[in-house]
Amino acid sequence: MIKSNRAEYVIELQDLVNLFDCDLELDIEHIESNDQNKYVNDFVVFYKGFDRKFQFSYYLDTSLSLLRQKSYKKRMVKNHLYKILSSLLNKKLPWGSLTGVRPTKFARDLIVYGEAKEYLISEVLQKDYFVDKSKAELVNSILKNQKCIIRNDNLVDLYINIPICPTRCNYCSFISSELANIKDKVNLYVECLLKELSAVKEIIKNKAYIVRNIYIGGGTPTVLNDKQLERLLSAINFPVDEFTVEAGRADTITESKLEIMKNNKVTRISINPQTFCEATLKRIGRRQKNSQVLEAYSMALVKGFVVNMDIIAGLPGEKLGIFKRTINTILDLYPNNVTVHTLSVKNGAQLKDDREKLNDRDVPLMVSYAQETLQKHGYKPYYLYRQKNQLCGLENVGYFRDDDLCIFNIDSMEETNSIIGIGAGAISKRVFNIENRIEREANVKFIEDYIKRIDEMIEKKKNFYN
3-state per-residue secondary structure call for the chain: CEEECCHHHHHHHHHHHHHCCCCCCEEEEEEEEEECCEEEEEEEEEECCEEEEEEEEEECCCCCCHHHHHHHHHHHHHHHHHHHHHHHHCCCCCCCCCCCCCHHHHHHHHHHCCCCCHHHHHHHHHHHHCCCHHHHHHHHHHHHHCCCCCCCCCEEEEEEEECEECCCCCCCCCCCEEHHHHHHHHHHHHHHHHHHHHHHHHHHHHHCCEEEEEEEEECCHHHCCHHHHHHHHHHHCCCCCEEEEECCCHHHCCHHHHHHHHHCCCCEEECCCECCCHHHHHHCCCCCCHHHHHHHHHHHHHHCCEEEEEEEECCCCCCHHHHHHHHHHHHHHCCCEEEEEECECCCCCHHHHHHHHCCHHHHHHHHHHHHHHHHHCCCEEEEEECCCCEHHHCCEEEEECCCCCCHHHHHHHHCCCEEEEECCCCEEEEEECCCCEEEEEECCCCHHHHHHCHHHHHHHHHHHCC
Average pLDDT over residues 50-66: 95
Band (pLDDT 50/70/90 cuts) for residue 254 is: very high
Query: Which range (21-35, 55-69, 249-263, 378-392) has the least confidence?
Result: 21-35
Residue-level pLDDT at 436: 86
pLDDT score at 285: 87
In this prediction, what percent of the chain has a pLDDT beyond 70? 97
pLDDT (tens digit, 9 = 90+) per residue, 295-342? 999 999 999 999 999 999 999 999 999 999 999 999 999 999 999 999
Per-residue pLDDT, averaged over 287-293, amounts to 93
| Per-residue model confidence (pLDDT) at position 168 | 83
Q: What's the pLDDT tens digit per position in 112-126?
A: 999 999 999 999 999
Residue 353 banded pLDDT, cuts 50, 70, 90: low
> Given this model, what pLDDT does residue 170 score?
80
- When pLDDT is averaged across residues 224-233 and rounded to a whole number, the result is 98
pLDDT in the model for residue 171? 81
Give 132-149 pLDDT, tens digit per residue. Answer: 999 999 999 999 999 999
Q: What pLDDT, on a 0 to 100 scale, did the predictor assign at position 347?
A: 65
Q: What is the pLDDT of residue 257?
A: 98
* Average pLDDT value for the chain: 94
What pLDDT is attached to residue 314? Answer: 94
pLDDT confidence tier of residue 434, bands split at 50, 70 and 90: confident
Average pLDDT on 386-407 reads 95
User: Is the pLDDT reported for residue 357 higher than 70?
Assistant: no
User: Which range, of 47-51, 54-58, 100-104, 157-161, averages the lowest pLDDT?
Assistant: 47-51
Mean pLDDT lowest among 19-23, 67-71, 190-194, 390-394: 19-23
Q: Which domains does the chain have, with CATH numbers?
A: 1-91 (3.30.160.100), 93-140 (no CATH), 155-455 (3.80.30.20)
pLDDT at position 21, please?
83
Q: What is the pLDDT of residue 35?
A: 96
pLDDT of residue 348: 61
